[in-house]
Amino acid sequence: MRLVEVAGSSMTIEEQASAWCIRLASGHLDPAEQAEFDEWISADDAHGKVFDRAQMAWRGLSAIADSPEIIAQRADALDALRRANRSRWSRKVQGNWQWAAALAASVLVAVLTVSLWSNFQTSAEVQPEVFATNVGQQQIVTLIDGSRLTLDAQTTVTVLYEDDRRVLTLEKGRAKFDVGKDADRPFSVTAGGRTTVATGTSFSVELLRQDMKVVLFEGQVKVAAAGSAPSARSVTLAPGEKLVANLSPLAVPRVEQADLLGAKAWEDGQLVFIDEPLVAVLEQVNRYSRTKIEIGDARVSGIRITGVFNAGDSRAFLDAITGLYPLKTQVNSDRVVIMSKILQD
């Protein structure tokens, strides 16, 4: 059957060009397809022109893969897929409880897992995988078990999956973890000397210069000192709670109510601050910008910031805070220093 006729002869030229573009992207054409492609492209001047736009669109899509808008849409698509699969399994199991149906469902689960996560097929030698983003980048990574990592800018996470556990380490930055359920393999994220353990849930971990933070969106997690015995003292978070711990191992972490919308906003390219010290605010703002903003004198660091900013727009951020507070800026080649006006005068 001819490629552009398979889906019915009513395909528009654009749709035909799409079919060819995707076929070419997926590998070599067999001789019959080659002849058909030659024939198609020379049949009409418009075919070549439209095909050119098709391949530009195809390539252009990878150039925007990590932009905040696309990241948000990819996350939405993955969520839709997970929801579809969840309701499919429950449909199958509830609607038909005979063993055959149950078996069919489990086979489908296996097929789905293999085809979705074929990147991880051979896990014979277990080596940690490293995922990292640069300034202003975000990345979504889907792991073998369906867990999803959303990496904020300037973030590094290492992932080590073993038979009996899933061990992740946040080396720097911030990431959100949507954990695939697997009661036999606890999912842990270590950052700044503390380990957060979950079975199936959604939470984020952030590493700042002085603190580490865990925000729990759904489910339940336990946070304990890294490397401690399971029985050791730990803090259990409920959904909507936030744990903030100083990086010193002896510090007692505090648990407070989290602003959940604000805590998730970075995924959509927004930074939300509610009464946060300028030092912590700048650490987040600087993740998105090559021009780093620094604090010039001690009086400035005491300022607390409340507001919503677009990630990556440090200019607007500076305008806002210099408008609100008695501050002035001094611009150097790759950094901006904020100083107190009063001190200078």
Contact status: 335 vs another protein (CB under 8 A): no
Supply the minimum distance, in Å, between the C-beta of residue 152 and another protein.
Answer: 18
Query: Which residues are registered as beta bridge partners of 295?
Result: 338
Q: Which of residues 85-104 bind another protein (CB under 8 A)?
A: 85, 88
Contact status: 65 vs another protein (CB under 8 A): yes
Contact status: 41 vs another protein (CB under 8 A): yes
122-144 burial by CB neighbour count: b if 16+ within 10 A, else e? eeeeeeebebebeebbbbbebbb
Contact status: 171 vs another protein (CB under 8 A): no
How far apart are alpha carbons 289 and 318 in whole angstroms? 12
DSSP annotation of 85 reads: H
Judged by CB, which is closer to another protein: 105, or 279?
A: 105
CB atoms within 10 A of CB 16: 19
Supply the minimum distance, in Å, between the C-beta of residue 143 and another protein.
Answer: 12
Structure tokens at 284: 């987040």
Judged by CB, which is closer to another protein: 51, or 288?
A: 51
Q: Please, what is the angle between helix 99-116 and helix 68-95, to 10°?
A: 160
Q: Which of 60, 254, 343, 344 binds another protein (CB under 8 A)?
A: 60
How far apart are alpha carbons 82 and 112 in whole angstroms? 11
Supply the minimum distance, in Å, between the C-beta of residue 298 and another protein.
Answer: 40
Torsion of CA 62, 65, 67, 73, to 10 degrees: 140
How far apart are alpha carbons 17 and 22 in whole angstroms? 9
How far apart are alpha carbons 117 and 167 in whole angstroms? 18
Contact status: 3 vs another protein (CB under 8 A): no
Contact status: 40 vs another protein (CB under 8 A): no
Q: Which of 2, 5, 6, 297 binds another protein (CB under 8 A)?
A: 6
Supply the minimum distance, in Å, between the C-beta of residue 99 and another protein.
Answer: 21
Contact status: 58 vs another protein (CB under 8 A): yes
The dihedral region occupied by 48, where left means phi > 0, alpha psi between -120 and 50, and beta the remainder, is alpha
Residues lying near another protein in the complex (CB under 8 A): 6-7, 11-12, 14-15, 17-22, 24-29, 34, 37-38, 41, 48, 50-65, 67, 69-70, 73-74, 76-78, 80-81, 84-85, 88, 108, 111-112, 115-116, 119-123, 125, 127, 129-130, 142
